[in-house]
């Protein structure tokens, strides 16, 4: 899951040249660093829901819950287990 | 030492304020002599040093990792001089357009002042703009230079060949060991260039200073052109509405890519010589409260969407921080709902003062003033130095009857009024009716003269306080290979006021589905910006249009709001 999400973020939210310059890993801040803003979070949430066949409640899709890939994995797993 | 001019004492008497607040007061307090040169860079930077504020902090900048950089007014003077020498050396001349396409780094704030010192026109652009949005604005302005950072260089490179006027791309964070720059790209490390002096361009009150792009219902984004005398309005409103005083620590949360971030995130606070804080990090409630606590912010200018996001996180994060430094709070960008005002009172023990203005007006026009009762949900009253009214939409005659809805209008001239739309004076002249400037928003008055917002008078989408043009979104949608027809409207949203919703008719061979929806969303985000990305796409057989082919957005908007659709006699029902 980690690689899939990292790849998606790299492809969708980083410019090609930026992606080459930046080391992105599961602990890189996404929201607080501005890589993903609150509007773009909507498409990231939509991707996760589609990819993992889950529904993420809006109240749980907070900037904190999306701040690193590790945070995102924890959120996705919580809802996969509950499914 | 008093701050520039005597303090305005807010007694709560509006008529008394009208008697003492006027543009001449601003001219006088800023030491302006009619007919003499006037430059925003001089007023905001060098003049503060001359007045003995050289050692005062002008900018406290916090990066997303928590790193702090501080700049005194003297630092500002040396660094803006460095910028100005550098730009002049590149060939930048008065009236050239220089685009600042940067995240909220110190280079943006200080570089802005360097640009205006040369007499060139600063064109700040939101750094999250995609390449199409960047191209639309820089091609219209004919920018001769773009100042940017490595994060955004790719977008600039992809449109560069289509910008014949563009001579230089300045990269503020290039590293020697990094990948090489290309022809026409120049590295500039601001901190290496401090210069004691620079012969500031002899600009005058009516010399162009700033070009800010804004969206309309139709056509490409329009560049509202402002002049150096706009500073009189930005200074006076900063002093009177934001109530900035000698020892205030001020935080404006807006990005200078939008007009609030320039008028009140650069020019306003520095024109009165206070210390301002900039946080270059994404939104998070705790981080915002930490910023207020750590820097002892006293005056805070933010936006309704941000306030509603803070509300969502509740009072616990508020209680975890010492926010006792706060003494005044204002809001801008969209109407502030009554619940947000009431929550502000509970959370901070203070009122959020809603302010109304727009890119074209350059400064606050209608506002809740310190010391006067805040009616939750009201926009307040006209800034005391100007005349604002609600006028009849057909005749332009002021409406005095309480509760009757009309158009918000401002009596020109005022110092920060746009002087034209760049390359589009025809549209500029359409903004006037019966001698009034028409803002494009509907409102009514109450029996005490307070303005109450009712809605936009056009199809422009206000999302999180930013205006997004439906035409620009629809054009981007049509570039997607699956899209045959498109319409974009604002869908009501509890946090952002509106979000973009798109209606899309597909080309033969394409099937609606989640994959396609996400693909189209990301397509628009990359081309325009995250703000312009439809947060919802509805696939339809066809988009409602008039028989002459005009998209009937009002039909779609009414449907989204659960309102009556109204007259559809002109709709093409074939």
- Looking at 3.20.20.370, 3.40.50.970, 3.30.300.30, 3.30.413.10, the CATH number of the domain B461-561 comes to 3.30.300.30
| pLDDT (0 to 100) of residue B197 | 98
Contact A42/B283, CB-based, under 8 Å? no
Please, which residues have CB within 8 angstroms of residue B331's CB and are 6 or more apart in sequence?
A: B301, B302, B303, B304, B307, B340, B352, B353, B354, B355
* Residue A62 Cα, gap to closest chain B Cα (Å): 9
Q: Looking at this predicted complex, what is its ipTM?
A: 0.91
E strand or H helix that includes residue B408: strand B406-410
| pLDDT (0 to 100) of residue B1 | 45
| pLDDT (0 to 100) of residue B199 | 98
CA-based end-to-end distance of chain B: 73
* Residue A4 Cα, gap to closest chain B Cα (Å): 16
Identify whether the C-beta of residue B292 lies closer than 8 Å to the C-beta of residue B251.
yes
pLDDT tens digits, one per residue of B458-506? 889 999 989 999 999 999 999 999 999 999 999 999 999 999 999 999 9
| pLDDT (0 to 100) of residue A80 | 85
| DSSP code at position B570 | T
Give the CA distances from residue B307 to residues A16, B330, B466, in Å, rounded to whole numbers and listed in that order.
34, 11, 15
pLDDT tens digits, one per residue of B300-330? 999 999 999 999 899 999 999 999 999 999 9
Contact A43/B522, CB-based, under 8 Å? yes
Fold of B14-441: Rossmann fold (3.40.50)
Q: What is the CATH number of the domain that holds A7?
A: 1.10.1200.10
**Which residues, given as ranges, of chain B have pLDDT below 70?**
1-4, 568-570, 573-574
A58 touches B at CB < 8 Å: no
* Residue B507 Cα, gap to closest chain A Cα (Å): 23
Cα nearest neighbour of A42 on chain B: B535
A32 touches B at CB < 8 Å: yes
Of B151, B283, B531, the CB nearest to A63: B283
Residue A71 domain boundaries? 2-82
Quick one: average pLDDT of A32-47? Answer: 90
Residue B546, classed as helix, strand or coil, is strand
Contact B283/A38, CB-based, under 8 Å? yes
Domain spans of chain B, in order of start: 14-441, 461-561
Into how many domains does chain A fold? 1
Radius of gyration of chain A (CA): 12
User: Number of CB pairs < 8 Å for A and B?
Assistant: 79
pLDDT tens digits, one per residue of A1-37? 999 999 999 999 888 776 667 788 999 999 888 889 8
Of A21, A34, A63, the CB nearest to B103: A34
* Residue A82 Cα, gap to closest chain B Cα (Å): 22
Cα nearest neighbour of A14 on chain B: B151
Burial B255-279 (b: 16+ CB within 10 A, else e): bbbbbbbbbbbbbbbbbbbbbbbbb
Contact A12/B522, CB-based, under 8 Å? yes
Identify whether the C-beta of residue B149 lies closer than 8 Å to the C-beta of residue B172.
yes
| pLDDT (0 to 100) of residue B262 | 98
């Amino acid at each position: 899951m980690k690689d899939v999400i990292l790849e998606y973020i790299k492809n969708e939210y980083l410019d090609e040249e930026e992606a080459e310059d930046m080391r992105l890993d599961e602990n890189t801040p996404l929201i607080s660093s501005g890589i993903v803003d609150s509007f773009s979070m909507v498409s990231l949430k939509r991707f996760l829901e589609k990819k993992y066949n889950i529904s993420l409640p809006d109240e749980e899709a907070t900037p904190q819950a999306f701040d690193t890939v590790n945070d995102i994995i924890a959120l996705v797993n919580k809802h996969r287990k509950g499914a | 030492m008093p701050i520039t001019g005597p303090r305005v004492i807010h007694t709560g008497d509006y008529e008394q304020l009208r008697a003492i607040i006027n543009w001449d007061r601003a001219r006088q307090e800023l030491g302006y002599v009619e007919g003499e040169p006037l430059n925003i860079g001089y007023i905001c930077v060098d003049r503060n040093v001359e007045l003995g504020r050289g050692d005062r902090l002008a900018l406290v900048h916090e990066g997303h990792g928590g790193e702090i950089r501080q700049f005194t007014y003297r630092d500002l003077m040396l660094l803006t001089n460095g910028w100005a020498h550098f730009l002049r050396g590149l060939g930048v001349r008065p009236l050239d357009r220089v685009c600042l396409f940067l995240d909220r780094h110190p280079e943006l704030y200080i570089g802005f002042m360097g640009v205006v010192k040369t007499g060139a026109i600063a064109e700040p652009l939101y750094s999250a703009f995609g390449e199409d949005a960047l191209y639309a604005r820089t091609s219209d302005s004919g920018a001769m230079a773009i100042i940017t950072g490595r994060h955004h260089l790719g977008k600039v490179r992809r449109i560069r060949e289509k910008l014949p006027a563009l001579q230089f791309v300045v990269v503020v964070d290039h590293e020697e060991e990094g990948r090489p720059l290309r022809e026409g790209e120049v590295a500039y490390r601001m901190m290496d260039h401090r210069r004691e002096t620079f012969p500031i361009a002899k600009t005058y009150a009516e010399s162009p200073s700033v070009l800010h792009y804004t969206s309309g219902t139709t056509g490409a984004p329009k560049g509202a052109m402002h002049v150096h005398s706009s500073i009189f309005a930005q200074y006076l409103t900063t002093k009177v509405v934001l109530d900035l005083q000698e020892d205030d620590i001020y935080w404006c949360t807006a990005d200078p890519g939008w007009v609030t971030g320039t008028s009140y995130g650069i020019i306003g606070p520095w024109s009165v010589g206070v210390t301002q804080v900039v946080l270059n990090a994404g939104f998070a409630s705790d981080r915002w409260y930490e910023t207020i606590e750590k820097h002892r912010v006293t005056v805070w200018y933010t936006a309704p969407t941000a306030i509603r996001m803070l509300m969502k996180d509740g009072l616990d994060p508020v209680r975890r921080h010492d926010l006792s430094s706060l003494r005044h709070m204002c809001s801008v960008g969209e109407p502030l709902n009554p619940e947000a005002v009431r929550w502000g009172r509970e959370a901070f023990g203070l009122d959020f003062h809603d302010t109304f203005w727009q890119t074209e007006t350059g400064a606050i026009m209608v506002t809740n003033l310190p010391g006067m009762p805040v009616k939750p949900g009201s926009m307040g009253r006209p800034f005391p130095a100007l005349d604002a009214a609600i006028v009849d939409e057909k005749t332009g005659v002021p409406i005095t009857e309480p509760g009757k809805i009309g158009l918000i209008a401002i009596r020109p001239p005022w110092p920060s009024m746009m002087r034209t739309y760049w390359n589009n004076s025809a549209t500029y002249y359409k903004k006037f009716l019966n001698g009034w400037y028409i803002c494009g928003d509907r409102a009514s008055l109450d029996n005490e003269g307070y303005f109450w917002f009712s809605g936009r008078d056009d199809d422009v989408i206000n999302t999180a306080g930013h205006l997004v043009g439906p035409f620009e979104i629809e054009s981007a949608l049509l570039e997607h290979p699956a899209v045959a027809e498109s319409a974009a409207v604002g869908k009501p949203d509890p946090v952002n006021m509106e979000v973009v919703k798109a209606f899309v008719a597909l080309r033969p061979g394409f099937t609606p589905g989640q994959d396609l929806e996400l693909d189209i969303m990301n397509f628009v985000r990359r081309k325009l910006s995250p703000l312009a990305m439809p947060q919802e796409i509805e696939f339809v057989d066809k988009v409602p249009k008039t028989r002459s082919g005009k998209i009937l957005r009002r039909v779609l908007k009414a449907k989204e709001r659960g309102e009556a659709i109204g007259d559809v006699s002109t709709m093409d029902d074939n």
